[in-house]
Amino acid sequence: MSNQKNKSILLTGCAGFIGSNFIPYFLDKYPEYHLVNLDLLTYAGNLDNLKEIEQNERYTFIQGDICNRVLVEEIFETFDIKGVIHFAAESHVDNSIENPGVFIETNVNGTFILLDVAYKFWMDKPFIFKEGHEACRFHHISTDEVYGTLGEEGLFTEETPYAPNSPYSASKAGSDMIVRSYVHTYGMNTVITNCSNNYGPKQHDEKLIPTIIRKALNNENIPIYGDGKNIRDWLYVLDHCKGIDLVYHTGEQGEVYNIGGRNERNNNYIAQKICNILDNLKPKESGAYQELITYVEDRAGHDRRYAIDATKIEKELGWDADENFESGIIKTVKWYLDKYSVEYNLNSTSDLMKRT
């Protein structure tokens, strides 16, 4: 049951990468909050990511599906939910190509159910909040992939037209539009953040950076799509968490905020940088890790470049990324070495940090 001394906030999908970094940060910063984590625990969710807070009396975990309306309604009633931060999503582009239906169901219909339950629980009718629910807010976490792809120049802004190119990004674009509709039709207090590529601790092994680290340590080929020149704007996960915090608490109702790290790097650079770090921290018995880099057939519909203009959140809310890619990737590699119980040269870690 809800602790009546604490304001209850529903967080979805927080056994995954970004959410499992967010919850410990949020619990520590806001002692007045009780956090309810609803997660289906699909392949991307892992409760080991949350061991550090599982005994916290201000944290409740519920295993369940955001598409289960009865369950979502029960959670709102039981805990008197006063806010939602919605992370839950199917997010792997390759999987969306193989099985797009799951992405539509979770990302579009799941978002609709959460929104609609919140609307009915918080509001008497369009634009009229129930007494005691006037400050309730729904924060939808989205992606820069909804904007499509960029040429060699330019940045995604909050005014960039949507042009999704994969079933994943199309499903996220659809969920963004449903959130937008609940602002304009019903007067709900919502905000949306669209982030660039996150990296850091607790990311699922299937993603690019963990794959490079794992393959290198196992002395296996490191697969890179196409020519490796696809560019992404990389954002350290804790910097993203701080941005979400700022937008949830101080963002303007109905607004969209892009969160990006201003760290454009192509996949070749990412692979080579990680290999160089590993050469320092955990040298191979012979040769260099870069020798393992192998180019494979490109992904279908692979967007060439993403890059976010974060000016709005920087200027209006005062957000700024603490990590550049070169500092964040060292912390990330070190975390995975610890995860895999790999001994490494601690002195090299210090030397690498000094050079960033």
Helix (H, G, I), strand (E, B) or coil at 211: helix
Backbone φ and ψ for 139, nearest 5 degrees, come out as -110, 120
Closest CA to 321 of 308, 330, 333: 308
Which of 59, 168, 186, 336 does the annotation list as catalytic?
A: 168
- With vertex at residue 59, the alpha carbon angle to CA 57 and CA 60, rounded to the nearest 5 degrees, is 110
Tokens 């880099």 locate to 293
Nearest to 280 by CA among 345, 211, 209: 345
Tokens of 171: 């499903």
Assess whether 144 carries a catalytic annotation: yes
Neighbours of 67 (CB within 10 A): 18
- Residue 49 makes CB contacts below 8 A (sequence gap 6+) with 15, 16, 17, 20, 202
Alpha carbons 234 and 5: distance in angstroms, whole number:
39
Rounded distance between C-alpha atoms, residue 257 and residue 311, angstroms: 9
State the pairing for strand pair 83-86/137-143.
Answer: parallel
Q: In angstroms, rounded to a whole number, what is the distance separating the alpha carbons of residues 339 and 31?
A: 29
CA distance 124 to 130: 6
Query: Of 33, 90, 119, 145, which is the active-site residue?
Result: 145
Q: Residue 48's CB: how many other CB atoms inside 10 A?
A: 11
Residues 6+ apart with CB under 8 A from 278: 213, 216, 217, 289, 333
Specify the DSSP class assigned to residue 71.
Answer: H
Interatomic CA distance for residues 184 and 208, integer angstroms: 38
Q: Give the DSSP H or E segment for 28.
A: helix 17-29
Q: Would residue 145 show up in a list of annotated catalytic residues for this protein?
A: yes
Alpha-carbon distance of 98 to 94, in angstroms, equals 7
Q: Which of 144, 176, 233, 314 is catalytic?
A: 144
Catalytic residues: 144-145, 168
